[in-house]
Structure 1
């Protein structure tokens, strides 16, 4: 298969590229290499992707020649987007509309004119649920995002459904629940925690630490993407991708104390607008349709991420 991965220099994107290449697929990757976090990390992610069978294009989806980029492509994995709940308020919201909504609509327009296309897999987010109606949250529960970021991800997801219903674009939306693992973005919680531990700094927690999250290991998320592309489902389908490990942030800190055997110094600050108290997704639908289930426990994933953090952040 020939696959296009948007956001290929990112956390999930480069991990997915390595998986596809290892299975003999051809991969075209596109990434704008924005400076939302350290660009050197993105460059290192790209360098880790085997060259054989891989072509990289540095460009913004809003400007790129998508027709030539999609020539002969059978699978699209749309991982690109502007992340971050905290920065999505105020004047920065325009960045989110461009990167998450406009770019997705432009890619969908190109996809509907790509005769070779078999599947369009969109990386959505559990942020679309906000403070959900119930837990574990099902895909049919009412979305009620609590942040502009969540609104932008939901809008793009609705676009995927609309293009499926109106033009037959074979879209699948995957709602990721807090992805973690080696190579995680530097602004995300586990990387911040582990970096602080290996450098002897304080861990900053926004809120009481009693907020609950459903964490999903990156290789499980990649596996969900591959299954979503390879296994038939109704165009416009939406699936939760959740690790089934709902635990409080303070509970995570307890696990890290056991894994790291190093001091864990914590300071608590005021909660951030838009952060929800709890997430937790039902995976019944994705298990039934795509035969997917998480394979990594939270402790296994944290141990792997800790070893990565030691190599990445430990003082020389």
Structure 2
């Protein structure tokens, strides 16, 4: 830049800031020493940066494996799919090998928020609220089984289809939605665990549940004890849960907790969320006590033993 050009640029006003600035000539810049020296650079700088990120991830995994509890799915997350593989228990492997088409490629658990539509969840929640509303346990846990008609009432169970108040409560569309849900779950279990959908059969019990903070009145109300589904229900091979209410909004407590050897792994319920897992000792679990509000969900179970299969539910007289 010549001296005339330099003089023309002195005192110019920036169009962005409105402040005056001076433009120095090339000679002035060359003569002015660099205050802090050149910015250091390293060979393979990107490689080293990635190595640091990978090392950080390894540290997190190591810490987790040393006993830090894990949240597999938070309520605020909307998950296409998130899975966790765990080794099959010896008891489960021995049992399921009797059914070659039903042996999983892996054992574990999976969560997805994209399987059940908002419309379907609305219908299923209405069935749960209105159906269980005709009875309800005196304690904190109530169930409704559309297959057998079993409904919690007080400290006992009644057949909902024999109640006068059930007339016109359920519509054919309700049972159609239930069957669609079963088919979606059946095919998702088959796809995720690597087996034939035709090898899976709906089994008993499959039911809606309502959990509240009411004190337990009978053993049926004590849902928070650790258990293994295959031990509790012999026919179970794959368990699916569909949540119909939101943790932290509709209720507090009530999280689903896998009790692994070295840590706990938690699933926070979210409206429409599906959680599925192999039903053996590898997935021992509990449900935390609900401390406030109401938690609704559906348990849908599948067996590999065709002799333990049950039919889809239907209105009485239309089965």
TM range (shorter): under 0.3
User: What is the TM-score when the length of structure 2 is the normalising length?
Assistant: 0.23
Q: Higher strand share goes to which structure? A: 2
Q: Higher helix share goes to which structure? A: 1
Larger relative contact order, structure 1 or 2 (CA cutoff 8 Å, min sep 6): 2
User: What is the TM-score when the length of structure 1 is the normalising length?
Assistant: 0.23
- Max Rg structure: 2
